[in-house]
């Protein structure tokens, strides 16, 4: 697998991991910007004997409440995690393994699950390892957080535990990755996360970097510029275009997909009855005169959730997920006029 650039980001993340744990780290950026790929590369390049990773990929998990959170964290002794198989040989992958009795006592809420984790992390420390807990695709917890009723406390507790692990005990790093930044904002405001977290953006490649990469892959100046102008620095699209025989055709296809998806979401919004407001907001973003105001937050949140827009909470910036999406939106909204 190819890995391009990200020198600046790798340096920052390595420095973060080599420093004593002191804050939860939120890595955020548009979907498919390369967050997971980047972190995997970073952990591969760090000395294997210094770290142990507890990597939770929430992508394929169906999380409904206490039971499934426990299931996510703990495994019966002897259980082997198949996940991260690609990096597994290169990193030290940890699993919270428990004796069946302890596990069942946790399930019955007689034993504190976080306490069990803390003990385990302290054992790692005693062996000279720095534990790193990775939570990939945080937004998968959103449903239970927002609609789970009495399940909500488990997420709050989880984040309070993360604060304790980092800021208070300096025991383990905690990295949380997501493209749904409103959810971060929500967790942040609800839990006691003030002054306890850091935020690091991972965006698509900027135009210049993307162009340099394409040229280094053998394209001429003109073709590289054409691609960047149309799709921007979206890594997976660059990969696909490079490996397709006809780049303009590939770009056309991406564009069609993007427009199709956009249309589908607009139809859905129409059915849900907030079409006018959504279109108004999208137009403002397109015309570059959108400012995040309180009264727009609800609509903005939904558009981010539907992945039409990306919101950068640190710089308070709203933009389309990608250049291609922006162009698709422009055309669709033009057609609507
Ligand atoms: N630095 C890179 N070099 C080459 N390819 C990359 C790079 N970063 C990402 N990619 C490609 O882009 C794809 C998407 O990246 P990745 O899954 O890391 O994005 P993500 O930000 O984690 O997405 P999501 O928000 O959906 O979790 C990868 O499967 C890989 O093919
Ligand atoms: Mg990811």
Give the distance (Å) from ligand 1 centre to CA of residue 172. Answer: 25
Q: Where are the alpha helices (DSSP H) in the chain?
A: 7-18, 35-45, 66-73, 100-107, 113-126, 142-147, 152-163, 181-190, 207-216, 221-231, 235-243, 247-272, 275-286, 297-305, 323-336
Residue 25 host element (H or E): strand 24-28
The answer to whether 44 touches 132, Cβ cutoff 8 Å, is: no
Q: Model-level pTM?
A: 0.91
- What stretch(es) of the chain map to CATH 3.40.50.300? 7-201
Q: Is 36 in the pocket of ligand 1 (CB under 6 A)?
A: yes
- What stretch(es) of the chain map to CATH 1.10.10.10? 244-336
CATH number given to 244-336 = 1.10.10.10
Fold entry, domain 7-201: Rossmann fold (3.40.50)
* Ligand that lies nearest to the alpha carbon of residue 32, given by its number in the listed order: 1
Which ligand 1 atom is at minimum distance from the Cα of 179? 25
Give the distance (Å) from ligand 2 centre to CA of residue 42. Answer: 14
Give the distance (Å) from ligand 2 centre to CA of residue 136. Answer: 6
Q: Is 59 in the pocket of ligand 1 (CB under 6 A)?
A: no
Measured distance CA(227)–CA(130) in Å, rounded: 42
Measuring from atom 23 of ligand 1, which residue has the nearest CA?
32
Q: What is the pLDDT along the chain (337 residues), one digit of tens a residue?
A: 789 999 999 999 999 999 999 999 999 999 899 999 999 999 999 999 999 999 887 776 666 777 777 887 887 655 444 444 555 567 888 888 888 899 899 888 899 989 999 999 999 999 999 999 998 887 777 766 666 666 667 778 888 899 999 999 999 999 999 888 888 877 777 766 778 889 999 999 999 999 999 999 999 999 999 999 999 999 999 999 999 988 899 999 999 999 999 999 999 999 999 999 999 999 999 998 788 888 888 899 889 988 899 998 888 889 998 999 999 999 999 887 7
């Amino acid at each position: 697998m190819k890995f391009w650039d990200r020198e600046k980001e790798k340096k920052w993340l390595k420095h973060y991991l080599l420093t004593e744990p002191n804050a939860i780290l939120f890595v955020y950026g548009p979907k498919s910007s390369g967050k997971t790929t980047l972190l995997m590369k970073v952990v591969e390049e760090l000395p294997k004997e210094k770290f142990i990773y507890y990597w939770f990929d929430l992508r394929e998990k169906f999380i409904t409440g206490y039971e499934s959170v426990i299931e996510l964290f703990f495994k019966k002794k002897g259980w082997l995690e198949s996940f991260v198989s690609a990096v597994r040989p290169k990193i030290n992958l940890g699993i919270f393994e428990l004796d069946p009795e302890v596990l069942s006592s946790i399930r019955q809420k007689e034993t504190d699950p976080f306490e069990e984790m803390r003990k385990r992390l302290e054992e790692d420390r005693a062996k000279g390892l720095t534990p790193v807990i990775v939570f990939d695709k945080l937004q998968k917890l959103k449903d239970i957080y927002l609609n789970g009723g009495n399940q909500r406390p488990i997420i709050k507790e989880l984040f309070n535990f993360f604060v304790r692990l980092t800021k208070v005990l300096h025991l383990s790093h905690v990295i949380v990755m997501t493209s749904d930044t409103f959810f971060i904002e929500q967790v942040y405001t609800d839990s006691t996360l003030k002054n306890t977290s850091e935020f690091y953006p991972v965006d698509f490649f900027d135009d210049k970097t993307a162009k340099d990469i394409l040229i280094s892959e053998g394209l001429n100046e003109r073709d590289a510029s054409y691609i960047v102008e149309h799709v921007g620095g979206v890594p997976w699209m660059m990969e696909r275009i490079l490996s397709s025989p006809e780049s303009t055709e590939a770009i056309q296809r991406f564009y069609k997909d993007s427009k199709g998806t956009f249309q589908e979401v607009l139809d859905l919004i129409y059915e849900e009855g907030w079409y006018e407001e959504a279109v108004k907001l999208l137009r403002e973003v397109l015309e570059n005169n959108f400012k995040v105001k309180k009264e727009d937050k609800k609509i903005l949140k939904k558009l981010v959730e539907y992945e039409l827009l990306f919101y950068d909470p640190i710089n308070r910036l709203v933009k389309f997920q990608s250049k291609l999406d922006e162009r698709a939106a422009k055309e669709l909204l033009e057609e609507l006029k």
